[in-house]
Chains A and B, each alone.
Chain A
Amino acid sequence: MSKQATEAIAGLGVTEMGRVYGHTASDWATEAVSLAVADAGLSLRDLDGLLVNPGMSAPDLDISLAGKLGLHDLGVLSLVQSYGASAGAMLAYASMAIRSGMATTIACVFADNPLRESTRASDAYRRTSAVQGASGLQIVSGLSDVTTYYALAAQRHMARFGTTSEDLGAIAVAQRQWAQLNPRALMTDDLTIAQHQESRMIADPLHLYDCCMVSNGGVAFVVTSAERARDLAQPGVGVLGFAQCHPGYANDASSDFGLRSGATVSGQRALAMAGARIEDVTVAEIYDCYTFTVALSLEDYGFCAKGEAGPFTASGATAPGGSLPVNTGGGQLSSFYMWGMTPMSEAIIQGRGHGGARQVENNDLVLVSGNGGVLDHHATALLAPLDR
């Protein structure tokens, strides 16, 4: 890469994950920020900026987190909400704030607490709003949860491009193979295409193993100047490019819903900022609420041709030992569910070279992809080890 990063990620904090009870979302966020700051070799007093992204079950998590952390005289303090694209959005806003001089050292945090001891994972994100108006017309049509919307997206893609359920299964299997190399992953049992096919249908065409889990926990990272990051405790991971795209699908035949996502434009913009081509990307961490989201994103970024994500993945290209390692920690399908922080945290680990058994050989350029809503919001980041 000819371009040198001027900002870098210097700290990463990941709390305990999964079915862990007795915490609030702001407890998780407090712990994650503290861990990230310590990881960087800094103290909370060194922070002069804080960006907060609450999950859907985090009513107590807002900018009062700054007070809970004892922070003073912040130059940047704000909520960010682009759903699964928030991690990439926070990284971008923090980098720009540092570049502009608003702040020097900014923590970005996500936390959520959707699981209760009495709650099934399938109910944790179920919509409970009044059955009224336009959204009510969708609910009475049989659309009560996000999974069904993604199922409609996947079904449209399958009909247009010939994608099969086995294609999606290949993505679940490849990510499970990565998860088996990740000590933090929550789902590490062997998984085969046959088991994927036999798993119960949630919303046709999505089987159980096409769907991510839901987790309690928090993740934070610290952004600072590349210059400062060089003097800190961890290998700095430089920020080379970032971009977003929010397509705004129309409810008519002009809609690309299910066929093409914001990753197309977001990816091109981020690559342009980094002065890179998609062929330069050596490892990709891609938002994976469902296997289908990975398939669509791989195509939209241009890692493979439109409609080819299935064969591309089935070839083993994205699995351990493949030509393009994808979701090297197991992703949200197999490791843990922290919205865009799942791919972001794994990108930081790979960028540092701290992946242990799952460390990729070539971490020259790491693509991080966030996706929010129902393919409504995309954020892309391009990261690279500093001074390479």
Chain B
Amino acid sequence: MKGQQVTSPDESAPETAVSEVSLTRDAHTAALFDAMASGHLPVAVCRDCEHVTAATTLRCPACTGDDLRLTPSTGRGAVASWSTTHDRAGAVRTSPGIVELDEGAFVFGALTDPALRRVGARVQVAFRTSAEGEHYPVFVPEPLSTKEVRS
């Protein structure tokens, strides 16, 4: 199975080229991958103290409770940090980012546009699929219409 399609909760998100990567789920992330396959990026919410954190988290970092529920996020947020890795000739190899979703959770994802290499840049999630057919998040510029609504 070779998944090369990009799915996005927002039709205006640009399609981006996909390189074939290997990625599979494990027991701890099955629900997260199911959610991403259905087209949304979840966050984890602690049922005990309502703290919102990353969907990959196993225990609430605020109260250590283990009753976390996944709930859909807006898929929008701002770059909390970014980097680019380079080959020996200096060309950009990868462009990873940490995105702070508007709900507060951090998500790792590739930044697909050089304009996003700035802390605070507004982004929106898009999904790519791995060689094994699993969806994973990347980040694209937040569509203008959304920004206008926000301002």
Chain A 272-285 interface 0/1 with B at a Cβ cutoff of 8 Å (1 = within) = 00000000000000
By beta carbon, the residue of chain B nearest A133 is B26
A141 to B93, CA, bound (A): 11
- Please determine whether A137 and B100 come into contact, CB atoms closer than 8 angstroms: no
- Please determine whether A250 and B81 come into contact, CB atoms closer than 8 angstroms: no
Which residues on A sit within 8 Å (CB–CB) of B120?
159
Which residues on B sit within 8 Å (CB–CB) of A143?
94, 96, 108
Chain A 105-121 interface 0/1 with B at a Cβ cutoff of 8 Å (1 = within) = 00000000000000000
A151 to B95, CA, bound (A): 11
Also in contact, A148 and B56, with CB within 8 A (given A142-B95, A250-B61): no
**One of A84-92, A200-208, A260-268, A309-317 at the interface:** A200-208
Bin the interface of chain A by size: 35 or more
Nearest Cβ in chain A — how far from B19, in angstroms? 10
Residue B24, interface by CB 8 Å: yes
Q: By the criterion of a CB under 8 Å from any partner CB, how many residues of chain B are at the interface?
A: 45
Nearest Cβ in chain A — how far from B48, in angstroms? 15
Residue A138, interface by CB 8 Å: yes
Which residues on B sit within 8 Å (CB–CB) of A140?
21, 23, 110, 130, 136
Chain B 102-143 interface 0/1 with A at a Cβ cutoff of 8 Å (1 = within) = 001110111000000101100000000010000011100000
- Please determine whether B56 and A202 come into contact, CB atoms closer than 8 angstroms: no
- Please determine whether B81 and A155 come into contact, CB atoms closer than 8 angstroms: yes
- Please determine whether B86 and A201 come into contact, CB atoms closer than 8 angstroms: yes
For the complex with contacts A202-B86, A250-B61, A254-B104, 11 further pairs of A-B residues with Cβ separation under 8 Å are A133-B25, A136-B24, A138-B108, A139-B23, A143-B94, A147-B85, A159-B119, A201-B84, A251-B56, A252-B51, A254-B61
Residues in chain B within 8 A of chain A (CB atoms): 21-26, 28-29, 51-54, 56-57, 61-62, 80-86, 88, 90, 93-98, 100, 104-106, 108-110, 117, 119-120, 130, 136-138
